[in-house]
């Protein structure tokens, strides 16, 4: 129940910020906003203020702003979206993306001021607190996965008979594991405040890129900054996140459309809800980072030039500028409907995978 509440609050914030960007810029441009809705219809209730109905709807995974003229109607009405210049329409579309990026930068700025757990490369060690050696990835079908190691587990001790190592660096773990290849060792990990002993046998000939037990490790610590440094670091970190998410999405769609396969784990609403609960359980700072990541994901996903997304609408405006006249409304609606159907099908498939994975 707590996870569900946290997820609804997080999702509501992300959607509210995104749609408020569209709403605010549309209003400033003199457009008529007919409805500002949280969730998708059917409607639970709505309140009209001025020209706009503010509604709460039954399907909670999303939200919308309905602007008069988005379907091409009212081209002669100065309050219609369709009557505005390409530049003003583009600003309305981009505003939601920019608001999500700004939200991520603000959250990461707060996080940098409060203290975020980051991977240490050596330069930050002197300023870091609560230094740990943590698991950041577990390979499929590896000894680590079979033993039950999970992402963010802290390795605090390794044992083989009377030989005990309490690692201070990743290299100590790697050396110990390599020396014990083919023999059972015991890893003591710290997970949510509890010590757990896990038995596993390092492989003598592991698959390429996996290592003897099949984990990626990192030395991490909590580093905080002064408020003025935290501000620019928030924007910098949001930019780095946006770049990484862009690359990941490019590879995701490339593999779907060119290779007809998926890479890595992909989560829908159910998976994101579970991960949100896990992040909240680790602490407020982890939740800040996770919500910032979700916000950047939402921004990047929306700006890609795919039908039915903000980027797809932006693409049609760009084509209009190049050819000197709007794209046929019939063609645009057909393309957007096809894109929306594809996204819904993908979301259903991912949700089915989430149910199988988490339940």
Q: Which residues are designated catalytic?
A: 19
Question: Phi first, then psi: what are they for 249, rounded to 5°?
Answer: -65, -35
Angle at 203 between CA 120 and CA 121, to 5 degrees: 10
Q: In terms of C-beta distances under 8 Å and separation of at least 24 residues, what long-range contacts does 192-199 make, across chains too?
A: 192/281, 192/282, 195/156, 198/147, 198/148, 198/149, 199/147
Q: Is 354 helix (H, G, I), strand (E, B) or coil?
A: helix
Give residue 257's region: left, alpha or beta (phi > 0; psi -120 to 50): alpha
Residue 309 CA to residue 255 CA, distance in Å, equals 20
Q: Is 194 helix (H, G, I), strand (E, B) or coil?
A: strand
Q: Is 115 helix (H, G, I), strand (E, B) or coil?
A: coil
């Amino acid at each position: 129940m707590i996870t569900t509440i946290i997820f609804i609050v997080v999702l509501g914030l992300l959607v509210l910020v995104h749609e408020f960007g569209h709403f605010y810029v549309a209003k400033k441009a003199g457009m008529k906003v007919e409805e500002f809705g949280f969730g998708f219809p059917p409607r639970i209730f709505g309140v009209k203020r001025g020209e706009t109905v503010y509604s709460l709807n039954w399907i909670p995974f999303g939200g919308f702003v309905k602007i008069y003229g988005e379907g091409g109607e009212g081209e002669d009405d100065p309050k219609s979206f369709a009557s505005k210049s390409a530049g003003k329409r583009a600003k309305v579309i981009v505003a939601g993306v920019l608001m999500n990026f700004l939200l991520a930068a603000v959250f990461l700025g707060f996080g940098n001021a409060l203290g975020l757990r980051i991977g240490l490369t050596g330069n930050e060690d002197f300023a870091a607190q609560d230094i740990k050696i943590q698991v950041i990835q577990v390979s499929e079908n590896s000894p680590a996965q079979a033993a039950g190691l999970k992402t963010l587990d802290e390795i605090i001790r390794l044992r083989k008979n009377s030989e005990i190592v309490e690692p201070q660096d990743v290299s100590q773990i790697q050396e110990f594991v390599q020396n014990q290849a083919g023999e059972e060792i015991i890893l003591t990990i710290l997970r949510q405040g509890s010590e757990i002993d896990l038995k596993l046998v390092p492989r003598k000939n592991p698959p390429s890129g996996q290592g003897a037990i099949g984990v990626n490790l990192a030395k991490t610590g909590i580093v905080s900054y002064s408020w003025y440094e935290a501000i620019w670091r928030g924007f910098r970190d949001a930019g780095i996140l946006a770049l990484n998410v862009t690359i990941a999405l490019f590879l995701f769609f490339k593999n779907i459309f060119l290779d007809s396969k998926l890479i890595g784990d992909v989560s829908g609403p159910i998976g994101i809800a579970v991960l949100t609960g896990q992040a909240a359980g680790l602490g407020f700072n982890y939740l800040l980072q996770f919500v910032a990541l979700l916000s950047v994901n939402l921004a990047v996903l929306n700006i890609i030039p795919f039908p039915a997304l903000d980027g797809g609408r932006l693409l049609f405006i760009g084509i209009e500028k190049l050819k000197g006249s709007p794209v046929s409304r019939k063609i645009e609606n057909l393309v957007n409907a096809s894109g929306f159907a594809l996204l819904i099908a993908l979301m259903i498939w991912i949700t089915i995978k989430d149910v199988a994975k988490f339940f």
